[in-house]
Amino acid sequence: MEKYTVEDLKNIKAQDEHLLTPDKDKKEYRILVCNGTGCTSSKSPLILKKFEEEIEKRGLTNVQVVKTGCFGLCALGPIVIVYPEGAFYSEFNIDNVERVIDEHIVGGNVCKDLLYGETIDGDNVKPFADTTFYGKQKRVVLRDCGVINPEKISEYILRDGYTALARCITNMKPEEVIDAIKDSGLRGRGGAGFPTFRKWEMVRAAVGDQKYVACNADEGDPGAFMDRSVLEGNPHCIIEAMAIAGYAVGANKGYVYIRAEYPIAVKRLQIAIEQAKEHGLLGDNILGTNFSFDLEIRLGAGAFVCGEETALMNSIAGLRGEPNVKPPFPANKGIFGCPTSLNNVETYANIPQIILNGADWFKSMGTEKSPGTKVFAVTGKINHVGLVEVPMGTTLREIIYDICGGIPNNKKFKAAQTGGPSGGCIPEEYLDLPIDFDTLSSIGCMMGSGGLIVMDETTCMVDMAKFFLEFTVDESCGKCVPCRIGNKRMLEILTKFTQGKATEEDIEKLDELAHFIGDASLCGLGKCAPNPVLSTLKSFRNEYENHIKGICDAKVCKALKKYQINKDVCKGCSSCARSCPVGCISGEIKSPFEIDSTKCIKCGTCFDKCKFGAIEII
Q: Classify the phi-psi angles of 88: left when phi > 0, otherwise alpha if psi is within -120 to 50, otherwise beta.
A: beta
Q: How far apart are CA 344 and CA 217, in angstroms?
A: 6
**Count of Cβ atoms closer than 10 Å to residue 327 Cβ:** 9
Fold of 562-617: Alpha-Beta Plaits (3.30.70)
Between CA 418 and CA 408 the distance in angstroms is: 20
Secondary structure E strands in 370-458: 373-380, 386-391, 413-418, 424-427, 451-456
Single-letter amino acid, residue 314: N
User: Are 147 and 159 contacting, i.e. CB atoms less than 8 angstroms apart?
Assistant: yes
Closest CA to 557 of 472, 462, 471, 439: 462
DSSP structural state of residue 371: B
Measured CA angle at 192 (ends 260, 466), to 5 deg: 70
Measure Cα distances from 228 to 44, 162, 352 in Å.
17, 21, 19
Query: Where exactly are the structural domains of the chain?
Result: 16-130, 153-361, 373-456, 461-548, 562-617
Nearest CA to 85 out of 112, 51, 113, 48 is that of 112
Dihedral pair phi/psi, residue 124, rounded to 5°: -105, 165
Helices (H) and strands (E) in the chain, counts: 26, 19
May I ask the CATH architecture of the domain 461-548? Up-down Bundle (1.20)
Whole-number Cα distances in Å, 453 to 104, 139, 521, 541: 38, 21, 26, 20
Return the closest-CA partner of residue 385 out of 376, 393, 394. 376
Integer angstrom CA distances of residue 444 from 376, 417, 422, 425, 586: 19, 12, 11, 9, 51
DSSP assignment letter at 151: T
Q: What is 16-130's CATH number, 3.40.30.10, 3.40.50.1980, 3.20.10.10, 3.40.1350.10?
A: 3.40.30.10
Rounded to two decimals, the pTM is: 0.93
CATH of domain 373-456: 3.10.20.600
**pLDDT computed for residue 490 by the predictor:** 96
What pLDDT is recorded for position 1?
Answer: 64
Task: Output the pLDDT for position 584.
Answer: 95
Which pLDDT belongs to residue 449? Answer: 78
Residue range 153-361 forms a domain whose CATH class is: alpha beta
CA distance 239 to 105: 36
Whole-Å CA distances, 325 to 196, 311, 321, 480: 22, 10, 13, 10
**Best CA proximity match to 269, nearest among 158, 349, 370:** 349
CB atoms inside a 10 Å sphere around CB 386: 25
CB-CB neighbours of 5 under 10 Å? 14
Q: For 444-499, how does the pLDDT look when each residue is reduced to its tens digit (9 = 90+)?
A: 888 877 889 999 999 999 999 999 999 999 999 999 999 999 999 999 999 999 99
Single out the residue of 317, 342, 321, 319 nearest to residue 330, CA to CA: 342
* Start-end of H helices in 477-557: 481, 487-498, 504-520, 524-528, 531-539, 541-548
pLDDT value for 192: 77
> Which residues does the chain have with pLDDT short of 50?
none
Contacts of 198 (CB under 8 A, 6+ apart): none
